Structure 1
Amino acid sequence: MTHFRSEPEPPVGITPVEHTGSAPTREAPAPPTGHAPVNDQRRAQLLLASVMDRIGTNRCHKVILAIVVFGAFFDVIEQNTVGIVGPFLKEQWGVSSTGIGFLASATFGSMYVGAALAGWLSDLKGRKTMFNFNLALYSLGALVCALAPNFEVLVAGRVIVGLGLGGEFVVGLTLLAEMTSTQFRGTAISLLQVGAGGLGNPAAYLFGWVTVGMVGPHLPQFLGGPDAGWRWVFVLLCLPALLVLYTRRHMPETPRYLVSKARTADANRSLSVLASGRMNPRGLVVTDYLPDGLRLTEEKARWTEILKGRLGRNSAVLGSCTAALFGAQFVLLTFWPTILVDRGYPVATSLAFTMIIFTGAVTGTLFATFLNTRCRRRPTIAVAAALSCASALAFPFLANGATAILVLGFLFEFFSWWANCSISTWCPELYPTRVRAFGIGVISNLGMIGGALLPPVAGVLLGSMGSTALLSLVAVMCAVVLVAVPFGPETFGRSLEELHDEN
């Protein structure tokens, strides 16, 4: 890992020029060794890839990564808040179980819309712009929920929250992929998964237990009293979002997006900020990594691209993998306690076992982070999917006794989150810059649709045929991933510009 000061050594073949009022115009330099002569648009992309890889990873990249992961972590906690506050809404407002379910549906339904819209607008207006907007929207929704005088306003607040949540992960994934070097890209995206699903889901219930279980009953009247404990769940979740929003003011736009919009001067400034190692460096010297002599044109985003030709095949592979794997994970997220109760364990014991099983998600994402920097995408995903399938099939026959249940359950979560994390790393690599965020948004929605449709089917199987049928369904979904992966391209070790000839 190489660190640079505010004026880093330029990549081979690039002679930067400092801004001293107006930058000189000159002939664009040749692309890096190994590339045939191409037009200025493609030349700028290849030069940009060389610059990004030469800058490497420094403090600025790590701060940006921390901000994105921090936001995603609290987003996942927010997704679980309906389950946390549901019992209090029933007690204080008389909300039925159906009403609680509707509240959850309002959140996740608006997340579908938010993911697609955020991806589309991010390709139009910029990654940083939509990243900030999503967080501001989420914070506004959380505040509405905290102050809601009735159930109808609470539903409206959850819709606003869902719009922000749906876009947050999509734009964050795109931003990290475009802001990092080829070598660090897999690690950065994998760590996003560690902070989000890996740590966020177990942390959500710990947060709820502390807020409404431990502190809530003892709240003084000037803070609303014990009956306001559930409102503080939303208030506290709003505060970290506002902190991240403040920090994001200084985050640069991704150079890759700026080049795709023919904004050479802004791209040079963004690259200079990244190379300085600080998000808000004083006395920044802007360096012409990309000469003004390059004749660039704005790349127009055609949303139908992701459904045609090579990108259409990539979308089919990613969509089937994501929908199948998310569906399998949501099935067991929903039914692990029920399966354990059916095996004769008390409810409290089943919940404790489930929490232990889900530690596999954290370790699985950490393991994937290690592999994604060192191993090719397709074999990594295929092995994880095969092991997920095997562990799901083994559970009904070998999970006899507490130790076997915990080990096999842990292994499934470990392998499936390993696969999930690796697919998330693969996803932004399969789309060009002009439609990358929109493509990720569509794939994210397919995953959420799989997560919404499969649990009801699994519930019918569990009720009529038992846990063996349910776990067989989970194994089939993991096998779908195994079959689909070979049809996608290998992307490991290649820059985003090498993967897509965008002209």
Structure 2
Amino acid sequence: MTTSTGRQDVSAVLKARIDRLPVATSTHKRWMVLLAFFFLFDTLDAAMLGYTAPALRAEWGLSLSAIGALSSITFAGMMIGAVLGGRLADRVGRRRIILGSVVFYSVFSVAAACSPNVGFLGVSRILTGVGLQAMTGVLLVFVSEMYPKHLRGRYQAILLGLGCIGIPVVSGISSLLIPLGHGMWRWVFVIGSLGAIGALLGLRILPESVRWQADNGRGAEAELLIAKLEQEARDKTGTELPQPVVAAPVAPGELRDLFTRRYLGRLVVLSVCMICFILINYGFNGWVATLLVERGIEQKSALRIAFVISVASVPGSFLAYPVIDRLERRVVGAGSMVAVAIFLVVFAVARDTTLLVVSGFLLTAFSYVALSVLYTYAPEIFPTNLRGLGAGVGNGIGRVAGLAQGFIVAGIYGAFGFTPVFGYMAACALIFAVALGFFGRKTSNRSLEEV
């Protein structure tokens, strides 16, 4: 019979063998293509309402406050999905939650496309948010657990960079489809349901997390997968692998441990950063087209400007690639958010279209550098059996801010006008920079067990 201590020792060795891999194998790369395809639908959906909002206003006669409410209630589903998905992933495994969530959000994205009124659309958006955030949080956990410690930051950046193609995709599709006529906004939501195609492929190629298997009595399955990855690494490098460096086993924790002194500070820093990022990202991308129209720019031109700005999310994510594993993550994230604050102020006061586009492009690029850091950092700071929940709670608390952001933007714009909206976002960026830069933990090039 295997004792608890013996199982912990085996688990520690299996985890160390993942971290000793000197390269990402061909299997790792196949996983990344699939994971990025899934993540693309998260970023696509995040921007979807912002680009369809002008058409919804025109077709259904909605006020700015109604658009704000519709934007905000979507975050209720995201909050539930982030926490529930993370907890279930710790209980039943990462793979089941990723694939099940993809099917769930796809169904309700189709429902949104068929909405007869704003109430039905609101309910559909809430349930879409549940599935999307359950999936997204667990995707980040999967990458942190299945890629070597010296590569996981770079592969999180790749995941975000490839996934962020969804932002210019939805912007481009919206600018092409919506002007074609009445009801064409519905096809944007239909496109948001196509992630279900990847779920079929995932049934064949996506395994369960080795770290989760190792900690849940499935070491034999984990051993087979690790052995395959090790052989691929030997074939690729032509050399024998280095000896695994086994970290001291981490005792399994319980739910209440997440709120003890050891992890509570980490959770607070993560939550503050998530709140600030959500307020900036959804406040900017979700409202920029609408606010430009309200400022007097013709709808077609506003959508075109929003599209050009949205493209920056892709190079911005890849901009993190060369530095995220070489420099300390908290430094990269804090510095990026200082740049975001500067360019938000420039955007707020710009009157020239070129300056609007350039400043919007740069603030978007640097915000996605920061998001690459945050998405890498979130699952690193919690132990395996609390990783999904810890990252999910931090993400979920951030989504609570999303409930308010629509009302905040509408309220500030209604009371003070265009410029103060972006000044408030700049203040959020500086709070993020201080929280992560001064109070975040060092995680770069450390095994998850060391953090």
> What range describes the TM-score normalised by the shorter chain of this pair?
0.7 to 0.9
| Equivalent of 1:204 in 146, 170, 175 | 170
| Aligned-partner Cα distance in 2 for 1:230–1:463 | 26
| Aligned-partner Cα distance in 1 for 2:130–2:279 | 21
Matched with 2:427 is 476
Matched with 1:260 is 215
Identity %: 27
Within 5 A, what are the aligned runs for 1:101-180?
A: 107-145=74-112, 157-180=124-147
| Aligned-partner Cα distance in 2 for 1:147–1:458 | 28
Matched with 1:457 is 408
Matched with 2:280 is 328
| Aligned-partner Cα distance in 1 for 2:284–2:187 | 30
Residues 329-370 of structure 1: CA distance to partner in whole angstroms, max 9, x if unpaired? 222224434664576644443332232223332221110122
Q: Is the 8 A contact 1:53 1:182 kept in 2?
A: yes
Matched with 1:20 is none
| Aligned-partner Cα distance in 2 for 1:459–1:105 | 11
| Aligned-partner Cα distance in 2 for 1:83–1:382 | 27
Amino acid at match of 2:322: F
Matched with 1:314 is 266
Matched with 2:151 is 184
1:446 shift after superposition: 2.1
Residues 206-248 of structure 1: CA distance to partner in whole angstroms, max 9, x if unpaired? 234455656xx7xxxxxxxx97x66655554434423333333
5+ unaligned residues in a row in structure 1: which ranges? Answer: 1-24, 29-38, 218-225, 279-288, 291-296
1:171 shift after superposition: 0.8
Residues 157-185 of structure 1: CA distance to partner in whole angstroms, max 9, x if unpaired? 44443321121101111111111111220
Within 5 A, what are the aligned runs for 1:156-305?
A: 157-196=124-163, 198-210=164-176, 232-275=187-230, 277=232, 302-305=254-257
Residues 281-325 of structure 1: CA distance to partner in whole angstroms, max 9, x if unpaired? xxxxxxxx99xxxxxx99755223222212111011111111112
Residues 444-468 of structure 1: CA distance to partner in whole angstroms, max 9, x if unpaired? 1122222332443343333333444
Matched with 1:440 is 391
Q: Look up the SS of the partner of 1:442 in the other structure.
A: helix
5+ unaligned residues in a row in structure 2: which ranges? Answer: 234-242
In structure 2, do the counterparts of structure 1 residues 261 and 102 end up closer, same or farther at CA, with 3 Å as the change threshold?
Answer: same
| Aligned-partner Cα distance in 2 for 1:85–1:341 | 13
Q: Is the 8 A contact 2:55 2:178 kept in 1?
A: no
1:112 shift after superposition: 1.6
Say whether residues 1:365 and 2:365 are aligned partners.
no
Residues 89-140 of structure 1: CA distance to partner in whole angstroms, max 9, x if unpaired? 7899x68568777665554322221111110000000001111111122233
| Equivalent of 1:431 in 382, 405, 408 | 382
Superposition TM-score, scaled by structure 2 size: 0.83
Superposition TM-score, scaled by structure 1 size: 0.75
Q: Is the 8 A contact 2:38 2:198 kept in 1?
A: no
Q: Is the 8 A contact 2:14 2:222 kept in 1?
A: no
Say whether residues 1:63 and 2:50 are aligned partners.
no
In structure 2, do the counterparts of structure 1 residues 172 and 457 end up closer, same or farther at CA, with 3 Å as the change threshold?
Answer: same
In structure 2, do the counterparts of structure 1 residues 311 and 135 end up closer, same or farther at CA, with 3 Å as the change threshold?
Answer: same
Residues 436-489 of structure 1: CA distance to partner in whole angstroms, max 9, x if unpaired? 011111111122222332443343333333444333322211111122122121
Q: Look up the SS of the partner of 1:64 in the other structure.
A: helix
| Aligned-partner Cα distance in 1 for 2:408–2:121 | 30
Q: Look up the SS of the partner of 1:431 in the other structure.
A: coil
| Aligned-partner Cα distance in 1 for 2:227–2:93 | 18
In structure 2, do the counterparts of structure 1 residues 488 and 233 end up closer, same or farther at CA, with 3 Å as the change threshold?
Answer: closer
Q: Look up the SS of the partner of 2:312 in the other structure.
A: helix
Q: Is the 8 A contact 2:72 2:406 kept in 1?
A: no
| Aligned-partner Cα distance in 1 for 2:278–2:417 | 21
| Aligned-partner Cα distance in 1 for 2:351–2:67 | 35
In structure 2, do the counterparts of structure 1 residues 91 and 385 end up closer, same or farther at CA, with 3 Å as the change threshold?
Answer: closer
Amino acid at match of 2:107: L
| Aligned-partner Cα distance in 1 for 2:334–2:354 | 28
Q: How many residues align?
A: 435
1:491 shift after superposition: 0.7
Amino acid at match of 2:269: V
Q: Is the 8 A contact 2:75 2:402 kept in 1?
A: no
| Equivalent of 1:356 in 298, 304, 308 | 308
Matched with 1:51 is 17
Q: Look up the SS of the partner of 1:370 in the other structure.
A: coil
1:203 shift after superposition: 1.0
Residues 415-442 of structure 1: CA distance to partner in whole angstroms, max 9, x if unpaired? 2221122111111111111110111111
Matched with 1:286 is none
Amino acid at match of 1:254: S
Higher mean alpha-carbon deviation, 323-332 vs 299-308, is at 299-308
In terms of Rg, which structure is larger?
Answer: 1
Q: Is the 8 A contact 1:376 1:490 kept in 2?
A: yes
**Structure possessing the higher relative contact order (Cα contacts under 8 Å, 6 or more residues apart):** 2
> What RMSD over aligned residues (CA atoms) do the two structures have, in Å?
3.5
1:384 shift after superposition: 0.9
In structure 2, do the counterparts of structure 1 residues 48 and 203 end up closer, same or farther at CA, with 3 Å as the change threshold?
Answer: same
Amino acid at match of 1:50: A
